[in-house]
Amino acid sequence: MSKIKLIKAREVLDSRGFPTVEVEVSVDDTRFAGELCTGRAMVPSGASTGEGEALELRDGDLKRYQGKGVLKAVKNVQEKIAPSLIGRDFQLQSLLDDALRDLDGTPNKSNLGANALLGVSMAFLRAQALAQRIPTDQFIATHFGTPGTTLPIPLMNIINGGKHADNGLAIQEFMIVPAGFDRFSEALRAGAEIFHRLKKILQKQGLSTGVGDEGGFAPQFTGAKPHEQALTAICQAISDSGYQLGEQVFLALDSAASEFTDGQGGYHFEGQTLTSEQMIATYGQWAKQFPIISIEDGLSEHDWKGWAMMTRTLGTYCQLVGDDLFVTNPIQLKRGIDNQIANAILIKLNQIGTVTETLETMKLAAHAGYRTIMSHRSGETEDTFIADLAVGTDCGQIKTGSASRTDRIAKYNQLLRLEERLGDRASFAGLKLYEKFKK
């Protein structure tokens, strides 16, 4: 590793036009004395956030960006983090991240802000990879102790609801899962073709084809069962595109159910208030009608009793993913593993705030046999770190939006580059990942 020479932060805009933190870390070049290698990173931002997430520091000054400015976090990087780290030589990413955590001194990064810490953590990793002339994904693989050759299955969110759209759908994400292909590029092609086919289907039904935060359509279905209408339209788009439903392409949901609970154990759903049991029964019914392979945050992050029941009922044939439930936090995940809650975890760097803690959570998941899914946030940037992280850790799945909006496509394009660079060494996670769930 090499010495940190410079740390710089600035306020930039994310995909929703709100401010976020960008950081540059420069380190000594290991080959050319006197030269610097600079890594740059941008931090994403969620909308349907879990309560246990690390703190995203916002200025709260209503005269700027509706209070969402990040000048305080930028100042923390420049005035508190930089002076203490510049001139130091961290031999490992984990030592840098330990220093960041020590500087902050709180369990949820509420002192300096997780957005300040994460920007430095990611930019430092990139700078070190550059200094050593190793591509970022391979640098991560070396650290994580994995081959770094698996291209992930894309979980593509082609209908947006919940907090990411204004269309009355309680469920936030309707995803297609093109798993039955030999290569990532073929899976991505299928996903994009299905997305375009869906547009035609929605147009025929007289529905809007404007897109939501993650680039999926956000139609206002008018029937009594809008969720089934959405699932039906997607299945038709898959078949009409010439792909085999339930053989090549599957469906996945992210309910983000914490967003539609009534706080007393009930769920506001299609004009009714449902119990946890009724929500589970609804999912069970859908899984019979449609090839649903994965359900994320199917119940609220506070409904651990319901989650235990859901895992017993659906967990044998469905991937059950904890996002708001686990918030990429090893302590929360451990609690889930100990209580046999869920069987997979969504991985979001900014939920926990450093690269090292993210990797620690992923290791814990892998040891317990839980699957890991690398994820974007609904507020994104052109940064493609998660693509490198997905391949570098061989995690097998990535959730990074639909086949539109450059903030989402940037990640897919980076994965295409990685597939090309890996050449014959590249493998695609593919159907074998879901073998256990085959009905």
Residue 26 vs 351, nearer CB to Zn ion: 351
Q: Indicate whether 213 belongs to the interface with Zn ion (CB under 5 A).
A: no
Nearest partner of 332 among 353, 301, 363, 310, judged by Cα: 301
CA–CA dist 258, 297 (Å, integer): 8
Contact set for Zn ion, span 275-304 (CB under 5 A): 296
CB under 5 to 8 A by kind: which of Zn ion, ligand PGA, none does 378 bind?
A: ligand PGA
Any bridge partners for residue 254, and if so which? Answer: 173, 296
SS3 of 260, please? helix
Residue 100 vs 320, nearer CB to Zn ion: 320
C-beta separation of 299 from 276 below 8 A: yes
Residue 140 vs 175, nearer CB to ligand PGA: 175
Q: How far is the CB of 172 from Zn ion (least distance, A)?
A: 7
Question: Is residue 80 flagged as an active site residue?
Answer: no
| Residues within the interface to ligand PGA (CB under 6 A) | 46-49, 254, 256, 323, 346, 375, 377-378
Residue 58 vs 399, nearer CB to Zn ion: 399
Q: How far is the CB of 50 from Zn ion (least distance, A)?
A: 8
Q: How far is the CB of 169 from ligand PGA (least distance, A)?
A: 14
CB under 5 to 8 A by kind: which of Zn ion, ligand PGA, none does 15 bind?
A: none
Q: Which residue is nearest to Zn ion (CB)?
A: 323
Q: How far is the CB of 258 from ligand PGA (least distance, A)?
A: 9
For tokens 């929360």, what's the residue?
332
Provide the H-helix boundaries in 133-177: 136-144
Q: Indicate whether 254 belongs to the interface with Zn ion (CB under 5 A).
A: yes
Question: Is residue 214 flagged as an active site residue?
Answer: yes
Which of 214, 259, 296, 360 is the catalytic position? 214
Angle between helical axes of 276-289 and 226-240 (0-180°, round to 10): 20
Q: What are phi and psi of 30, to 5 degrees?
A: -75, -20
Pairing of β 19-28 and β 36-42: antiparallel
Which run of H or E residues covers position 422? helix 406-422
CA–CA dist 438, 250 (Å, integer): 11
CA-derived radius of gyration, the chain: 21
Cα→Cα distances 8→84, 93, 94, 412, Å: 13, 18, 21, 28
- Count of residues binding Zn ion (CB under 5 A)? 3
Three-state SS for 356-409 is HHHHHHHHHHHHCCCEEEEECCCECCCCCHHHHHHHHCCCEEEECCCCCCHHHH
Structure tokens at 72: 């305080």
Q: Indicate whether 323 belongs to the interface with Zn ion (CB under 5 A).
A: yes
Q: How far is the CB of 96 from Zn ion (least distance, A)?
A: 29
* Interface segment toward Zn ion; rule CB under 5 A; list 31-39, 95-103, 161-169, 246-254: 246-254
Q: How far is the CB of 324 from Zn ion (least distance, A)?
A: 6
Q: How far is the CB of 94 from ligand PGA (least distance, A)?
A: 26
CA–CA dist 134, 142 (Å, integer): 10
Residue 4 vs 155, nearer CB to ligand PGA: 155
CB under 5 to 8 A by kind: which of ligand PGA, Zn ion, none does 248 bind?
A: none
Q: Which residue is nearest to ligand PGA (CB)?
A: 46
Residue 2 vs 378, nearer CB to ligand PGA: 378
CB under 5 to 8 A by kind: which of ligand PGA, Zn ion, none does 330 bind?
A: none
E strands, 201-301, in order? 249-254, 267-269, 272-274, 292-296
Residue 49 vs 93, nearer CB to Zn ion: 49
Provide the H-helix boundaries in 51-149: 71-75, 82-85, 93-104, 114-131, 136-144
Which of 22, 296, 301, 348 is the catalytic position? 348
CA–CA dist 54, 115 (Å, integer): 9
Task: Enumerate the active-site residues.
Answer: 214, 348
Task: Give the interface with Zn ion as residue ranges (CB under 5 A).
Answer: 254, 296, 323
